[in-house]
Structure 1
Amino acid sequence: MLKLHVTDETSVLKAVILGIADSCGPTPTVEEAYDPKSLEHIIAGTYPKEADMVKEMDAFDKVLKKYGVTVYRPKLIEDCNQIFSRDIAMVIDNVLVKSNILPDREQELEAIQYVIDQIAPEKILTPPEEVHIEGGDVMVWGDHVFIGTYKGEDYPNYITARTNMQGVEFIRKHFPHKKVKEFDLVKSNTDAKRNALHLDCCFQPVGKNLGIIHKEGFRSEDDYKYLVDLFGEENLFHITADEMYHMFSNVFSIAPDVVVTERNFTRLNEWLRSKGFTVEEIPYAEIAKQEGLLRCSTMPLIRA
């Protein structure tokens, strides 16, 4: 049996599900776009090619294995985008919480069923239908669970609003010992520079007490200030709208001192190195065109 254990974002990674880019289907139509960044590339004719994305994910797989991580991959579903395994489930402490995702993505969960079968049934939570929640919005950080949401009354109008307040309350109810703090995120169906698709698109902790943050990703200044007070202004690396667009906050920690990043993130990578991190740079710019990056592609199961 798999003994799940995730209590933060950065402890030494032991086991993870990494998505796959093989057979991810034809380029979506404008109507099929899930987010504004994909839409932009569909219209421009620059939507990523499968072969390039497979290469990028292979590079990520190689780095994970270099650090002795057990890597699970979803079973292949023909013509299905299975890159973003973070969307479909999450681990909080020793419990796997299934996401309630967009209906036409449900088969992605079936592709990791062989992993779920290795988890004790009482350690699996399936939310009811009215609960919307995706793993990119949920971060475990010690006694905290940070959750990205959207509190606007026009929530149903945004395909980019993926976690609702029922999702926040669901986590609160099932993890009463945790301090669950929700963050109201800026959403746009059409402007990728004004859209925080998930919390990890505008914030992510690194190391023991540092973080990457985009102030304008939060609808409420109080939410932004909460993180500044918690982490300390001097411990946060502030990114611009352009850097958020390129997914600077969507890196991935293999250990408290090891971070996998995109090789073009020069300013961030220099900052991380100045703070003593080993920075594993890989090419991931093609996958970034779908408004997801390294954290989005991974679903940690065990961190030491």
Structure 2
Amino acid sequence: MLSLNIKNETSRLKAVILGIANSNGPTPSIEEAYDPKSKMHIENGTYPIEADMISEMDEVAQVLKKYDVHVFRPQLIQNYNQIFSRDIGFVIDDKFIRANILPDREQEIEAIHHIIDQIDPEKVVVLPEHCHIEGGDVMPHGDFIFVGTYLGEDYSSFITARTNTEAVAALQELFPHKTVKAFNLRKNNDDPKENALHLDCCFQPVGSKYAIIHENGFLNPDDFNWLVQFFREENVFKIDKDEMFNMTSNIFSIAEDVVISDKRFSRLNQWLTERNITVETVNYKEIAKQEGLLRCSTLPLIRE
């Protein structure tokens, strides 16, 4: 049996599900795109090709193996996008919470059943159908659970709104000993520079006390200010609109002192290195064209 344990984003990683890019399917039509960045690349004829994405994910797998992380992969579904494993579930403490995701992506969960079957069934949680939630919006942080959501009455009109307030309430009920802190995110179906698809597209803790934050990703300035005060101004790396567009907050921590980051993020990578954090760089610019990066394609199961 797998003994799950996730208390935060940065403790030493022992086991993870890494998505796969094999048999990713043809370039989707604009109508089939789930986010504005994918739409943009479909329109421009720059949507990523499968071979490049497989190569990029292999680089990540090699880094994880270098640090003795047990890497699980989904079972292959022909002609189906299975890159972003973070969307389909997440672990808090010793519980695996199955995400309620877009109906078109239901098969992705079936492809990790061989892993879920290794978890105590009593530790596998399926939230009620009306609770919409994806793992990119959920960040355990010790006594807190940070959750990205969208509070607007026009929630249903945004394909980019993935986690609703009902799911936030369900998490609070599931973890009554923790403080569930929700953040109202900026959503835009058409402009990727004005859209925070998930919380990890505009914020992520890193190291022992640091955080990466994009102010404009939050609709409420109080949410942004709360995070800056929580982590302290001197520990916050603020990213601009272009860096957010490039997914600079979406790196992935193997430990408090080791991260995987994109080679393009030179400003962030230098900042982390100056704080004695080892930065393992990979090429991930093709994956990024689908509005997801390193955190999006990994689903941690066990951290020390």
**TM (normalized to structure 2)?**
1.00
- Inter-partner Cα distance in structure 2 for 1:7 and 1:251: 18
Residue of structure 2 equivalent to 1:38: 38
The root-mean-square deviation of aligned C-alpha atoms, in Å, is: 0.4
Q: How does 1:277-292 map to 2 (within 5 A)?
A: 277-292=277-292
Partner of 1:149: 149
Offset, 1:111: 0.3
| Aligned 1:135-214 pairs, distance under 5 A | 135-214=135-214
**Distance (whole Å) between structure 2 residues aligned to residue 99 and residue 253 of structure 1:** 22
- Per-residue CA distance 1:257-301 (angstroms, 9 max, x = gap): 001000011111110101111000000000000000000000000
Q: What is the alpha-carbon distance in structure 2 between the residues aligned to residue 174 and residue 8 of structure 1?
A: 17
CA distance in 2, matches of 1:30, 1:254: 35
Paired residue for 1:88? 88
| Counterpart in the other structure of 1:217 | 217
Secondary structure class of the residue paired with 1:78: coil
Structure 1 distance, partners of 2:180, 2:128, is 19
Give the drift of 1:84: 0.2
d(CA) in 1 for partners of 2:129 and 2:141? Answer: 27
State the shift of 1:59 in Å.
Answer: 0.2
**Once the two structures are superposed, what CA deviation does each residue of 1:211-252 show, in whole Å capped at 9, x if it has no partner?**
000011000011111111110011000000000000000000
Aligned: 1:5 with 2:5: yes
Cα deviation digits, residues 174-202 of structure 1 (max 9, x gap)? 10001100000000000000000000000
Provide the residue aligned with 2:102 in structure 1. 102
Aligned residues: 304
Note the residue ranges of structure 1 that are not aligned, 5 or more in a row: none
Secondary structure of 2:290's counterpart equals: coil
Distance apart, 1:73 and its partner CA: 0.1
| CA distance in structure 2 between the aligned counterparts of 1:273 and 1:258, rounded to whole angstroms | 10
1:53 aligns with 2:53: yes
Provide the rounded CA distance (Å) in 2 between the counterparts of 1:185 and 1:133: 14
| Correspondence for 1:68 | 68
Structure 1 segments (4+ residues) deviating >3 Å: none
